[in-house]
Amino acid sequence: MSSSFLRTLGLMSGTSVDGVDVALVETDGERIAAFGPSLTVPYPDHVRRTIRAAFGAELPNAATAVAETAVTDAHVAAVKQWSAQHGIALGSIDVVGFHGQTITHRPEKRFTWQIGDGCALARAVGVRAVCDMRSADVAAGGQGAPLVPVFHAALVRELDRPLAVVNIGGVANVTWIGEDDSLLAFDTGPGNAPIDDWCVRRAGRLFDRDGSLAASGKVDRTRLERWSEHRYFARTPPKSLDRGDFTDAWTDGLSAADGAATLTRATARAIALAARHFPQAPNQWIVTGGGARNPTLLAAIAQETGKPVVLASSLGWDGDALEAQAFAFLAVRSLRGLPFTFPTTTGAPKPLCGGRLHLPS
């Protein structure tokens, strides 16, 4: 292997607040030499509650301090568990890409906040760490999201284009990749977050496993059509969302099953509406993220888009690890000073690099 390739560990905790994803990638920030083992470590319920209590904060307070410590400790524990489980010494890792946990994302205020102490993590695992990968873009007037399109482009080099890669986490985002490798990326709308919140409030469960609750309900078409007129969908990208920009409140009054069905269809509708902004219609939609494990949602996306829906896993991608892999890739780009946000992905004024490097000592 070329000495330009680094063994990089990527860490991701998304807005669904499921847990910490850890993934190994060997990359030079442009090419991917190999993917290594990955691991997902769920957050304990008390950690989820601690993180959620900090959502929306714009200034440090007691809740954000407790949440940051919890997030950092959970990531350190996940890295050490990954190392022990796979028998890979942390001393063999060149760099860690640490996304942190988004608690507030307000690019219109030039503000985004991913909690997690990169310095403490680097010291605890003994490996240099790159963190704070969104702030530079937001400070320059970009949306700060999505960050993974340049990684998606590296993954699809051998596939027929144009195509769209949809990542469905708490918020859903899409990367459109043209035949000439041109990129367009933006948040499509809600992902799993409103469905999860509805399940917590109305069904006494953390999420809709396999989309079973939604499958048992009926979509309220009148509410859905009214919701589809939200001004966000007509806005020209690049554009991005905070987890709380789309809530489950508009389905209040429905049964637990009908609300889940309507919210699930809404996520699919928002993804389909994204296509109005593409330069060309995609040949296929590749779906990854937590939403890829929801067959009811996948069926709704296929119906709403009228195009084939392809699971990332069917292409040999590890859908559960994909975002963690992306942040490993971005960490190396940061070290090399390569851009990972662009005018057509975040609305940045020019291609920008980002991230802050923390040394273990």
Q: What is the rounded radius of gyration, in angstroms, for the C-alpha atoms of the chain?
A: 19
Answer yes or no: is pLDDT of 235 > 90: yes
Cα–Cα distance between 199 and 27 in angstroms, integer?
Answer: 39
Cα–Cα distance between 167 and 187 in angstroms, integer?
Answer: 9
Answer yes or no: is pLDDT of 270 > 80: yes
Instruction: Give the mean pLDDT of 156-167.
Output: 93
The mean predicted confidence, pLDDT, of the chain is 96
Asked if 76 and 184 sit in the same domain, the reply is: no
User: 42-48 long-range contacts, Cβ below 8 Å, gap at least 24?
Assistant: 42/18, 43/13, 43/17, 43/18, 43/19, 43/74, 47/71, 47/74, 48/17
pLDDT-derived band at 333 (thresholds 50, 70, 90) equals very high
Cα–Cα distance between 254 and 217 in angstroms, integer?
Answer: 10
The answer to whether residue 320 sits within a structural domain is no
* Per-residue pLDDT at 15: 80
Contact by Cβ (8 Å): 143, 239: yes
**Mind listing the pLDDT tens digit for each residue in 168-223?**
999 999 999 999 989 999 999 999 999 999 999 999 999 999 999 999 999 999 99
Structural domains of the chain, count: 2
Asked if 233 and 105 sit in the same domain, the reply is: no
Answer yes or no: is pLDDT of 65 > 90: yes
pLDDT-derived band at 3 (thresholds 50, 70, 90) equals low
Asked if 62 and 162 sit in the same domain, the reply is: no
The answer to whether residue 1 sits within a structural domain is no
Asked if 38 and 81 sit in the same domain, the reply is: yes
* Per-residue pLDDT at 2: 54
Answer yes or no: is pLDDT of 44 > 80: yes
Asked if 118 and 154 sit in the same domain, the reply is: no
The answer to whether residue 206 sits within a structural domain is yes
Specify the amino acid at residue 260: A
Asked if 21 and 133 sit in the same domain, the reply is: yes
- CATH classification at residue 221: 3.30.420.40
**Mind listing the pLDDT tens digit for each residue in 17-34?**
989 999 999 999 999 999
Cα–Cα distance between 185 and 197 in angstroms, integer?
Answer: 26
Its domain, for residue 45, covers 6-144+325-358
Answer yes or no: is pLDDT of 225 > 50: yes
Asked if 208 and 350 sit in the same domain, the reply is: no
The answer to whether residue 274 sits within a structural domain is yes
The answer to whether residue 245 sits within a structural domain is yes
Asked if 11 and 114 sit in the same domain, the reply is: yes
pLDDT-derived band at 1 (thresholds 50, 70, 90) equals very low
The answer to whether residue 169 sits within a structural domain is yes
Answer yes or no: is pLDDT of 87 > 70: yes
Taking CA atoms, 330 is separated from 20, 181, 214, in Å, by 17, 18, 36
Asked if 248 and 292 sit in the same domain, the reply is: yes
The answer to whether residue 170 sits within a structural domain is yes
**Mind listing the pLDDT tens digit for each residue in 128-152?**
999 999 999 999 999 998 899 999 9
* Per-residue pLDDT at 319: 82
The answer to whether residue 117 sits within a structural domain is yes
- Percent of the chain with pLDDT strictly greater than 70: 99
pLDDT-derived band at 157 (thresholds 50, 70, 90) equals confident
Asked if 158 and 263 sit in the same domain, the reply is: yes
Asked if 78 and 64 sit in the same domain, the reply is: yes
Asked if 289 and 197 sit in the same domain, the reply is: yes
Cα–Cα distance between 189 and 191 in angstroms, integer?
Answer: 7
